[in-house]
Amino acid sequence: MSGYAVVNPATGERLADYPTMSEGDVETALAAADGAYRGWLRSSTVAERAALVRRVAELHRERREELAAIIVREMGKPLSHALGEVDFAADITEYYADNAEKVTGDTPIDILGEGTAVIRRSPLGALLGIMPWNFPYYQVARFAAPNIVVGNAIVLKHAPQCPESAAAIEQMYRDAGFPEGVYVNVYASNEQAATMIADPRIAGVSVTGSERAGSAVASLAGQHLKKVALELGGSDPFIVLSTDDMDSVVAGAVEARMDNSGQSCNAPKRFIIIDSLYDEFLEKFTAAMVACTAGDPFAEESVIGPLSSLAAAERLDAQVSKAVEQGATLVAGGTRDGAFYEPTVLTGVTQDMDVYREELFGPAAAVYKVASEEEAVALANDTAFGLGSYVYTTDPEQAERIADAIEAGMVYVNCVLADSPELPFGGVKRSGTSREMGLLAADEFVNKKLIRIA
């Protein structure tokens, strides 16, 4: 039985199996991508590539309902969230079509001597993308679109539970008019992915996923001197120091935590509240979390759906249970029903508990009380992760201080879910090494070639 399958986490029903590729298929995929890079991609103009990328964005919008339904079945995303993801993937793809000349253009250098110098960006070749299940379209869009615009070919290994959406994405690139090999979907095993990384026709690797996956791929890529981009986990802090509207703060906190049923790497997971506001925040936050409606992800009233799989729900359940065993207080939730997990709030988490260092990937949150700005920042930074962060304060100078002090790739002040195609996404520490989206994404896999003319 193939590892690539559509299993509806809401019902446990196995809907479809997709065969893992053969060794011959691996060679065919690599040859196609390398051929497209050395052929059409090298001879095409930026305008030609941008026009086809724009068509991919249009196809996302034309097939919006169909694409959304696929990922509801594959990983249980509530339908409204799935539709929003398709829309965002279209916006990201269109952004790179709109900005193609900007991301590929020369950068002049002011030189000390006579003559001229520029940095010219040129593609590296075929790239292997290894993508996760939690945002099947969005994750691919922010990797594939900028790299195809700059002239790289894409070989895409999606998560084993997302074979149908993986095929749908490849079909959109074909239907947009891209020649064979520009975008190649592969149902590859981990061993076959390792073979691809080692192959000289693969010029670089991008991984979005767990720390374990990122470490394994980075190690292998390093052995073969390949550029690797990593987007890994997060345990983002949500700091509240002052507010004129606690209800609005709580609404933002719950909306961000429950995005994608709590399965978002840059969702806030640790809520760090100044002592004078702690009781009010905890009471209102707990009530709002508990009020989130779980159910059939196709139903309009469902705020959250199941976790992506039974195994994912069991992992979260084990983390919460162990936290309680080690002394944390279960304020609400903590119950699993199949792949569904009840919205959960923990307090009393201390440094000696496992959950203090872990990422809670699901509808669970830990709430902490602090006595000062300095304590809040110290707690926020006391993690191996450094992806995103959120700060709520009515003091602009305090916001600037905290934004400077937080060890994270992104800081959002008085807002949540404010991602946008032009804003770079990425982290530091064990959260990753690269940036996606925005203009920075197109600089990850290019040769920044110096051309100096006397």
Known catalytic membership, residue 314: no
Asked if 412 and 237 count as a contact pair (C-beta separation under 8 A), the reply is no
Which has the closest alpha carbon to 238: 429, 395, 388? 388
CA distance 423 to 442: 12
Known catalytic membership, residue 231: yes
Asked if 328 and 358 count as a contact pair (C-beta separation under 8 A), the reply is no
HSE value, Cβ hemisphere, 13 Å, CA-based, for 445: 31
User: What are the backbone angles phi and psi of residue 388, rounded to the nearest 5°?
Assistant: -115, 180
Which has the closest alpha carbon to 367: 398, 338, 332, 396? 332
Bridge-based pairing state of the strands 4-7 and 364-370? unpaired
Asked if 201 and 126 count as a contact pair (C-beta separation under 8 A), the reply is yes
Which has the closest alpha carbon to 339: 9, 5, 8? 9
Residues in the chain: 454
CA distance 154 to 156: 6
Four-point Cα dihedral 425, 298, 73, 15, nearest 10:
180
Which of 85, 164, 170, 231 does the annotation list as catalytic?
231
DSSP state of 394: S
Bridge-based pairing state of the strands 116-123 and 107-108? antiparallel
Please name the residues in contact with 48: beta carbons below 8 A apart, sequence gap of 6 or more.
Answer: none
Start-to-end C-alpha separation, the chain: 63
Residue type at 255?
Answer: E
Helical pair 64-75 and 79-98, crossing angle rounded to 10 deg: 130
Please name the residues in contact with 270: beta carbons below 8 A apart, sequence gap of 6 or more.
Answer: 235, 236, 237, 238, 365, 366, 368, 379, 380, 383
Asked if 385 and 427 count as a contact pair (C-beta separation under 8 A), the reply is yes
Which of 94, 164, 170, 265 does the annotation list as catalytic?
265
Handedness of CA 5, 8, 12, 16 (dihedral sign): negative
Which residues are annotated as catalytic? 231, 265
